[in-house]
Structure formats: C-alpha cells, structure tokens
Amino acid sequence: MDQRLILVTLLIRLGVAAAISSVLVRARRFRVLLFREERTAAEKVEIAFIVGTPIMLGVLIRHWVPSFLAADISFEGAILIGIIAGRLAGPVGGALVSLPALFWGEWLTLPMNVFAGLLAGWLRHLAPEREAIWSFSPLFDLSIYRWIRRSIRKSLIDWQTSFFFLILGLEFIRIQLHRAWPRRIFALDSANLWVMLAVYAGTVMAVAIALKVLNNVRIEMKLEQQERLLLQSRMEALQSQINPHFLFNTLNSVASLVRRDPDSARQMIVKLGNILRRLLRKGDAFVPLREEMEFLDDYLDIEVARFGHDKLKVVKELEAASLEHLVPSMILQPLVENAVKHGFASKVDPGSIYIRSRCADHRIVLEVEDDGVGIPASGSSASSGTGIGIVNVTERLQVVYGDTAEITLESQPGRGTLVRLVLPMLQAEEMGGSVAGAIYEERAKTSR
C-alpha cells in the first residue's frame, strides 16, 4: 500500500472517530447511559449496540468503497466500548462491529475484536477509580525522567500507562495476524518504520479522541447536574422563607377564634394540623395543582372562620385539565394570604376572592383576584406588591423558571387586585421523573 495513502487514511480515521463520537452524544438515551457509572447488564449491552451500530456501518463502507479505508474503526471501537462499558459490553460490541467483515471472509476479525473488547473491559474493572478512564491521553508524560521516577516510586505502572501499552499490544497482534493471513483480517501495514510508528500512534489517538469527546459531554452533564442541585437548594431556601411567615399569620388567625368561638377554634386547629403535615414534606417542591388546591382549602377555611362567612367569600373557577399539572408547592397560598391581609383587613364591606386556573398555549394560567381596597398606583408592579408574599412568589418564579414564567399584577384602588401567573407545563416524565431536570430543560430551551 502506498505510504502517503496510509498517512492520509490515518488522518481521516481520527476525524471519523471524532465524528461518530459527536453523533452518539446527541442521543439523549446514550447521554443518560454514559453519565451513569453503575449500569445493569441490559444497559451495558445497550451501550454496545448504540456505539457498535455506526461503527459496523463504517466496516460496510470500507468494503463498498475500497479506497475509503478510514471508515473502518472497528478495532478501535471494540476497545472504546470495553473501556466505557466494561467486560460484558466489550466482547458484545467487538462481535457486533465484526459481523460485516465475516461476510467478506475476514474471519479473524471477530476473535480479534472480541479479545480487544474483553481486555479493555477488564482494564476498566481494574481501574483504581472511574475518572482515570476519562482522563486518558496518549501523551501520558512527555518527561521520560519523571515517568521513570513515578513508576519506581509506585512500584507499578499506573493505569494510564497500562491502557496505552494495551492498545499498542493489541495493535501489534492485529498487524501480525494481518501479515500472516492478509485476507482474513484488515489492518494498515507498511515496511517503512516511520509509517508503522504513525499507524500505532493513529490507533492510540483514535481511541483517545473518542474518549475526549465523550468526556467533554460528561463534564457538561456534571455541570448541569450541579446547576440543578443549586437550583433545588435555592427553591428550598425560598420555600423555607415563606413557611415561618405563613405559620405566624395562621396561628394569629386561630388565636383570634379561641375566646369567641372555641368550637370553630378546635376545627381550625385540625385544619392547621393538616397544614403542618404538608409543610413537613420538604421534598415536595412541586405538586399537582389539585393537591395545591386541597392545601389552600384548609388555609381558606381558617381565614373564612376568622373573618366570618358573611364577610369573606371564596369563589373557585378551576379547569379540570389544569388540576393534574405540576406547580411549585405553596405558590398560591402567599397570593391568597396577601389578598386577605391587604385586601380585606381594612375593608368594612363583605368581599370575595376568586381563584382561577386554565390551560392555554401549553401554559398554565393561575389567577388570584379580590374585590378589596386595591393597591395604590405607586405600588402597581408585581415586584413592589405589599407584603412578603408577592415578593417571595416573584423571586421563586425567577429562580425556578427563569424567563419562561410570567407574573403580572393589576390593581385599581377601591376596586381590587388581580395577580396572574403564567407557568410552563412541565413534562417531568420525559426527564426520567425529575422535576428539576424538566425545569432545567425548559429554561435551557429559552436561553438558546
């Protein structure tokens, strides 16, 4: 084979390895499996088929287009599958990528690739820590002196060096098999020493480049996970901020009933017990709107008993389809509390609170409206509403949804106030049941 053709093939092969890796990481399922260190046997086999399928197609292309030898990276692919998925996936992947070669009579390809995948899988199993796998580089140490000192100090060759020599050793075996039976296994070969050194280096670089692409995606996913955890922490901090304020006002409402209506006070204490049980469920950052309304009913029963059924009326206009969608826990209670406290506390005449929900354009629209005293014109924005409730809700929406949610406040002095929330519908089941993941995905779509 022409020496220049071999060198060009080696360069193109690096591009093929990078291209296949880049295509694989675009698949959501593969990203999930790649990020998960502990996998079941079925998931390991799944990785072997996901990675092996495009590599197997490359082997077919080599036979269909004889001048395009760079398309065949089955040997490197078997090593890659073994090193990222283990001892089971390595042989399975090696067998899969070898199937087209068997059709053309290259029967030594199957045992060679299965053996390569198995050894790579065993080396993964022997790694002292999983991160060592992803930090592999063919330039393990440019200083021979430092490498010798480190090896002597450890008394053993480290994992990175072992993987480096494993690839070289397997490539040496493959080339020797090709020289003995050239029609039974494919390999790049040359009588020129420098070209052969390039062949060995190209094999190592192809595996290293593929691992580098996959590792970059893992790092990106780790950063996303950390951002999700930070988001969850901020959500919990804001929710814990509203709880003491809410409990203080609720206890005051119950206290006002103790002397003048003990029977109602006892009923309200039962309602308060239900509320406290809900507040103790700190893990429920999101709940179905139906559950949020049940919680709100207990709170409103306390407020109605406090003000009197003849002075405070609650009207609910809820669309049935909206009740099953997820909303932030306790997102409506601060708005209702704000309406009671600032809308009716100083009002003599009876008043009403209207709570509405509906679905529109893949959004959930929630409204809390009162016909109380209203807010002065100077405080008509959502962020400048009176009390901690409006401010807390506004900040929670910003933390949770970013720019994908809206809050508007409309108020007319003497006629009442309307607060409207427009929230995206979260499809948590598509994110493996993770609500935080669904939120992050929704925010990421908006930022693109």
CA 96-211-61 angle, to 5 degrees, is 40
Give residue-wise pLDDT tens across range 168-182.
999 999 999 999 999
Quick one: 274 and 181 in the same domain?
no
- Residue 23, Cα to own-chain centre: how many angstroms? 19
CA-to-CA distance for 333 and 390, rounded, in angstroms? 10
| Phi, psi values for residue 356, rounded to 5° | -130, 150
Q: Is the pLDDT of residue 380 over 60?
A: no
Q: How much is the pLDDT for 233?
A: 58
CA angle 118, 124, 126 (to 5 degrees): 105
Q: Tell me: do 273 and 218 sit in the same domain.
A: no
pLDDT band at 439 (very low <50, low <70, confident <90, very high): low
- 333 lies in some domain: yes
Whether pLDDT at 116 is above 90: yes
Q: Which residue has the tokens 């992803």?
A: 134
Residue 28's pLDDT is what?
Answer: 86
**Contact indicator for 131, 160 with CB cutoff of 8 Å:** no
Tell me, yes or no, whether 118 lies in a domain.
yes
Burial of 139 (0-12, 13-18, 19+ CB in 10 A): exposed
pLDDT, one tens digit per residue, over 36-48 is: 878 899 999 999 9
CATH number at 443 reads 3.30.565.10
Lowest mean pLDDT among 51-65, 151-165, 328-342: 151-165
Q: Evaluate whether residue 374 is within a structural domain.
A: yes
Kindly state the average pLDDT of the residues 283-308.
80
Task: Tell me whether residue 321 is in a domain.
Answer: yes
Residue 420: name the closest of 432, 406, 433 by CA. Answer: 406
Give Cα 42 to chain centroid, integer Å.
21
Q: Is residue 247 part of a domain?
A: no
The two structure tokens encoding residue 309: 């059924």
pTM of the model: 0.62
Q: Are residues 8 and 119 in the same domain?
A: yes
> Are 56 and 94 within 8 A, CB to CB?
no
171/264 same-domain check:
no
Domain of 390 in residue numbering reads as 259-447
